[in-house]
Amino acid sequence: YVDNHKRKFAEQEFNAIKKRSKWQHGQNQKCTCIVTKKETKNVKRTVLKSVVGTLDLSIRYLLHGETFPGVERVKAPLFCTINRTSQSRYGYIANLCVAKSARRQGIASNMLHFAVESAISDGVEQVYVHVYRDNRAAQELYRKMGFEVVEMANSQLLEERTFLLCFKT
């Protein structure tokens, strides 16, 4: 039953990534899924059992009226425009996950480092991530990697119980 649930969840996430990638391709935006898998010599594993970490990185533009990703400065009109200036372009990290059996081995740090370097190579100067306020381990990881809390945005995120963090290149 558990394997069936995992398979169904993995399929759901895969389809969501495909949908985001297809939608963003038409918007001149980029979505990258970083996958870390465990390699053991002379041991065969299914793909599902070999994946130990994932992270989504997207390169986006702020919507009209946004000052930070997902935080509106003013009430945006029903039909928004995308602000396509270089200052409005940013990286956004989502779905950073590491299997419990693979934690505390530097996998999350390596994926984050790779994601930030990828964003920089795409010309992005800021990379954002949302983190739950009660997820102290994630907050500490992001802090060690150089992310800082965006104070101006977080007063608007109280209801969501999240912090917005930013890495500036």
Q: 85 burial class (0-12, 13-18, 19+ CB within 10 angstroms)? A: exposed
User: For residue 94, which amino acid is it?
Assistant: A
Would you give per-residue pLDDT tens digits along the chain (169 residues)?
A: 667 766 776 677 666 666 655 554 445 567 888 888 887 777 776 666 778 899 999 998 887 766 667 655 544 454 444 445 556 789 999 989 998 888 999 999 999 999 999 999 999 999 999 998 899 999 999 999 999 988 765 566 666 688 889 999 8
Domain extent at residue 160: 2-168
Cα angle 98-155-136, degrees, rounded to a multiple of 5 = 30
Residue 11's closest CA among 3, 37, 31? 3
pTM attached to this predicted model: 0.74
Q: What are the tokens at 65?
A: 């009226």
DSSP 8-state secondary structure symbol assigned to residue 76: P
Provide the pLDDT for residue 114: 96
Provide the pLDDT for residue 108: 94
**CATH number, domain at 96?**
3.40.630.30
How many domains, in total, are found in the chain?
A: 1
Three-class SS string for 17-59? Answer: HHHHHHHHHHCCCEEEEEEEECCCCCCCCCHHHHEEEEEEEEE
Q: Are 109 and 146 in contact (CB under 8 A)?
A: no
Helices (H), ranges, 27-164 = 47-50, 107-121, 136-144, 151-154
Q: Catalytic residue numbers?
A: 142
Provide the pLDDT for residue 24: 47
